[in-house]
Structure 1
Amino acid sequence: MRRVVVGLVVFVVSLSSFALGQQEKPMTLKAVLLEQLRSTHNKAEWFVPANTAAAGLTPEQASWTDKSGNHSVGQLANHLVFWDRDMLAKFKGETPAKFDGNNDETFNNFDAKSWDATVKQLDQVMTDWESAVEAADDAKISLWASRIAHVGTHNAYHIGQMVYVRRQQGVWDPNKGVK
């Protein structure tokens, strides 16, 4: 099953490069995963990366929620910091932070006073993921490929929510990637 997932990831990336008219040499699995991690971190490609989605907000703006009960940008960033750290600790063979299993806490523990620190932590954990994948050997990459791909997908999903919340709030610059 893992080979099917890995093959599918490589196929999709190759197909998307072909569709864009880019004739690139075949990519390694590590290169594909690093590309995914970087595109959700700080390399604007097909969608807005985290550093752009979080940039320029005041603590009050980062705390804003709509009347429908959607999470704030700060809550979403806090959630990403938690889960990216959790999975990175496991990837590195370390013990992750204690967690009681209540996923709501990963959102609701956000404190507006810590917004600047949250943005820095998000950037740092994403940088740390990239460094860890770069340093890993092919056997570890192969073993963890699906989970690393899910980290990138999870990041992209919540970054999209961050942009959506900013648009609802009226604090999104459409020139940054989403009109």
Structure 2
Amino acid sequence: METLLRQHLTELLVGESAHVNARTAFARLPAALRYQAPPGFPHTAWELLEHLRLAQRDILEYLQNPRYTAPPFPEGYWPPTPAPPTPEAWDASLTAFLEDLETLQHLVNDPSVDLFAHPPHAPAAHTLVREVLVVADHNAYHLGQVVALRRAQGAWPP
């Protein structure tokens, strides 16, 4: 049963069963569209990507760092501008987001990791399972926004 739970959690993190996967959501998005929000959209693709990265990194830190301190909310979870500081920042953010997503998958699939343990500094209800569900839910929501944004920009499907 535990193996099946690990498989389901991994599938939820990766996407494609109930929501688009992250690689597909951001695939081949033209650079000119990454920093524009069409009318009615509150965020650019850059803001959504960086928000996804920051929030996911925060939960990974929460799980792994016994000296974890939450960033200020909401500014610690969103980029300060609708465009990145440099052209390279897009690729760096996407790479970091995907690497952290893989790290979470490795944690879930490591048989030595207790899925129901909680970090020593966290409430007992904040288990690895709970945090993975929070990440998957959060990612699915914002990846859906990326798809809607891309549709509005005429850049979907990739």
Structure 2 unaligned residues grouped into runs of 5+: 119-124
Q: Which amino acid aligns with 1:89?
A: E
Could you tell me which residue of structure 1 aligns to residue 43 of structure 2? Answer: 71
Could you tell me which residue of structure 2 aligns to residue 33 of structure 1? Answer: 9
C-alpha distance in structure 2 between counterparts of 1:48 and 1:62, whole Å:
18
Rate the CA distance shift 1:46–1:101 in 2: closer, same or farther, 3 A: closer
Q: Which amino acid aligns with 1:131?
A: H
Could you tell me which residue of structure 2 aligns to residue 164 of structure 1? Answer: 148
After TM superposition, the runs of 4+ consecutive aligned structure 1 residues lying more than 4 A away are 94-98
1:28-71: CA deviations, max 9, x gaps?
Answer: 333221221122xxxx3333111101111233211110122421
Shift of 1:95: 4.2
The number of equivalent residue pairs is 146
Larger radius of gyration: 1
C-alpha distance in structure 2 between counterparts of 1:73 and 1:84, whole Å:
16
Rate the CA distance shift 1:26–1:128 in 2: closer, same or farther, 3 A: closer
Shift of 1:103: 4.1
Shift of 1:151: 0.9
The normalised TM-score by structure 1 is 0.70
- Choose 85-94 or 27-36, whichever is displaced more: 27-36
The normalised TM-score by structure 2 is 0.78
1:62 to 14, 17, 34: 34
Rate the CA distance shift 1:164–1:95 in 2: closer, same or farther, 3 A: farther
Contact 2:116 2:129 in 1 (8 A): no
